[in-house]
Structure 1
Amino acid sequence: MAAVLRLPGGTRDASEIVEALLVAAQTREVTAPDISARWRQIAHDIGDALDQLPTPTIIQEHS
């Protein structure tokens, strides 16, 4: 299943979500290993999707 996320901060916001999921997964590793594994997988899936995005092109104006 695919999903569309609209984030005002763009990929920066998505990167923060990935980091938060990984931190949360680490805190639940002992008490809820199944949830921890799920959150870690979601973080990796989002990270992989971010890696597939094209590199932004920077256009410089000459003045």
Structure 2
Amino acid sequence: MKRSFRRLGGLFAVVTLVVHSVLAAALVAHARLTGRDDGRKWAVATLFGGLLGVVGYVRAGD
């Protein structure tokens, strides 16, 4: 049972990082289309937030 929770946690972590990567790419694309120059900053903030969430989730499981 513990193994399946661990596997589910790993899947959750991967899905979270993939979703945040897609959001970051969308932020950069939107910024380019609208002529804004802060898209990269928001993309980095989005990725960092996703990474912190995954790290917190993994650490809570230990």
TM-score by length of 1: 0.48
The higher relative CO (CA closer than 8 Å, separation ≥ 6) is in: 2
- Structure having the higher Rg: 1
